[in-house]
Structure 1
Amino acid sequence: MSLITPLNRVLGLGTATGGTEHWWAQRLTAVALVPLGLWFTLSLAGFDDYSYATMAAWLRSPITGALLVVTTLCVVYHSWLGVQIVVEDYIHATGLKVLVLVLSTFGHALGAIAGVFAILKIAVGTS
């Protein structure tokens, strides 16, 4: 005997509606951000000069540019997952919850696009 209503069964809404995947995605991005954050921090700590020319030269390295894009995308995705959990847990009005989730999704997407665009613009040298 199932306690799931027929509508929830059709919609795929059981007791675990994707929470496991969300949990794993958040943990994997957190684990990925540990070495990426250490790399970023140690890389920046090694500079004597933080001028635009120095940072642009550092960013023009293909490995640095790629790692910085991966770091940016991991940070934004991890943030989006975390904000989603906070909104779902603490906003109880359905309309407001949907609005905040949509705004959060668009804001995080815009942040990812802007970050990757800025990195690529400097890495390619068209700044």
Structure 2
Amino acid sequence: MSSIRSSLASARGLGSSKTGVSHWWFQRVSAVALVPLTLWFVACLASQLGADYFSVTDWLSSPLQASLLAIYLAAIFFHSQLGLQTIIEDYVHHDGAKMALLIGLQLLNILLAVAAIFSVIMILVGAA
């Protein structure tokens, strides 16, 4: 028996088609922000090549360098969260496993981001 309902009526109530746009934009903006930050980070690593621990911590104790590194770390973890979330949503089909993986991924990214930025702060405070 064929249904009288149109395809639009069948799709109503299944969620907005606009919800993925912000995720897509955040992913693109964070990728664009990571380009100059990665170039800065690679240049800084190259400039510190062969330096001892004290000269690297002295370099990192600059508020500008520490701030840029903290922004870089936050952008990396934010961008990885968005990318891995997309992969999980696309390829994990069991709802329970998908939810558990998304929650675990978010907690892991937050934990790693906080630990990395806290390390930068500790170097900044310890060098002062």
Under TM normalisation by the shorter chain, which class is it? 0.7 to 0.9
Choose the corresponding residue for 2:16, options 14, 17, 21: 14
In 2: Cα distance, 1:80 partner to 1:61 partner:
29
Q: Does the alignment pair 1:80 with 2:87?
A: no
With the length of structure 2 as denominator, give the TM-score of the two structures.
0.87
The alpha carbon displacement at 1:125 in A equals 1.2
With the length of structure 1 as denominator, give the TM-score of the two structures.
0.88
In 2: Cα distance, 1:27 partner to 1:47 partner:
30
Q: Does the alignment pair 1:5 with 2:12?
A: yes
Gaps of 5+ in 2: 1-5
The alpha carbon displacement at 1:28 in A equals 0.4
Deviates more, 1:57-66 or 1:40-49: 40-49
Equivalent pairs, count: 121
Question: Larger Rg: 1 or 2?
Answer: 2
Partner residue, 1:41: 42
- Which 4+ stretches in 1 moved above 6 angstroms? none
Deviates more, 1:87-96 or 1:117-126: 117-126
Alpha-carbon displacement from aligned partner over 1:84-117 (angstroms, at most 9, x marks no partner)? 0000000000000000000000000001100110
In 1: Cα distance, 2:16 partner to 2:102 partner:
21
The alpha carbon displacement at 1:55 in A equals 1.4
Partner residue, 2:30: 29
Alpha carbons 2:66, 2:121 under 8 Å: kept: yes
The change in CA–CA distance for 1:44 and 1:105 in structure 2 (over 3 A counts) is same
| Residue type at the aligned position of 2:48 | F
Alpha carbons 2:48, 2:56 under 8 Å: kept: no
